[in-house]
């Protein structure tokens, strides 16, 4: 009986924590962090103002959890897209397309909040974010290496530089899409980059 209770309680706690996080994510993204009150989050999560402090010790901790979740989601998005798409250049660009096409301005806003927090706290969340970004870049680099191995793109290109470029393009276009809503334009830019890379596979890239 104790065990059943405990398990239920833990599940309950997890569920509530998830509700609160989801509420916080939604509100922090749409209204902004400072314009969202703890009472707002509690109401959105369907609990009382005070109850939120049983799950998070304060707004800062809640924010940290939201940021952590946002970063995890970002990384997971890349990972899932990569896993689902095989290993060729086409796969790489399917990833890019998926990432780019989610021009949800809410997601983007939260992402920007994380970027801002990282800039302002390079040791804390900034460090964590660098890890996440490194992981993503490593992921990209794996796909790049595979494309180089198959000869689709020039094998002499610096895989790190290329993955940096691709990551930058992904971030830049995501921002672009969120701001303008012009998804097709971003896709065309991405296609263009793909064709340039294929060209490198065909003719080889001349030295710098």
Partner DNA sequence: GATGAATGAGCGTTCATTCAT
Partner DNA sequence: GATGAATGAACGCTCATTCAT
- Smaller CB distance to a second copy: residue 12 or 130? 130
Q: Closest approach of Cβ 48 to DNA, in Å?
A: 3
Residues 6+ apart with CB under 8 A from 206: none
Binding mask 51-90 for DNA (x = CB under 7 A): x-xx--xxxx------------------------------
| Binding flag, residue 11, DNA (CB under 7 A) | no
CB of 141 to a second copy, least distance (A): 12
What CA–CA distance (Å, rounded) separates 162 from 31?
A: 36
Backbone angle region of 46, left / alpha / beta, with phi > 0 → left and psi within -120 to 50 → alpha: left
Alpha carbons within 13 angstroms on the beta-carbon side of residue 108 total: 19
Which residue, 110 or 144, is less far from DNA as judged by CB? 110
Interface ranges with a second copy (CB under 8 A): 30-35, 105, 108-109, 112-113, 115-116, 118-120, 122, 126, 129-130, 133, 157-158, 160-162, 164-165, 167-173, 175-176, 178-180, 185-186, 188-193, 195-200, 202-203, 205-206, 208
């Amino acid at each position: 009986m104790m065990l059943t209770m405990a398990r239920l309680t833990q599940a309950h706690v997890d569920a509530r924590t998830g509700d609160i996080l989801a509420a916080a994510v939604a509100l922090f993204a749409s209204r902004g962090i400072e314009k969202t009150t703890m009472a707002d989050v509690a109401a959105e999560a369907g609990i009382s103002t005070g109850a939120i402090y049983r799950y998070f010790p304060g707004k800062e901790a809640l924010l940290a959890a939201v940021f952590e979740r946002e970063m995890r989601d970002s990384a997971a998005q890349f990972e899932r897209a990569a896993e689902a798409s095989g290993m060729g250049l086409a796969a790489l660009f399917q990833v890019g397309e998926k990432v780019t096409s989610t021009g949800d301005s809410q997601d983007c806003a939260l992402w920007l909040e994380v970027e801002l927090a990282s800039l302002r706290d390079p040791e804390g969340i900034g460090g964590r974010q660098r890890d996440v970004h490194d992981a993503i870049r490593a992921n990209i680099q794996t796909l790049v290496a595979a494309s180089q191995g198959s000869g689709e793109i020039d094998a002499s290109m610096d895989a790190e530089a290329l993955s940096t470029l691709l990551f930058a393009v992904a971030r830049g276009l995501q921002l672009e899409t969120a701001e303008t809503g012009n998804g097709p334009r971003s896709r065309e830019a991405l296609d263009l980059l793909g064709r340039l890379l294929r060209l490198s596979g065909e003719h080889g890239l001349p030295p710098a």
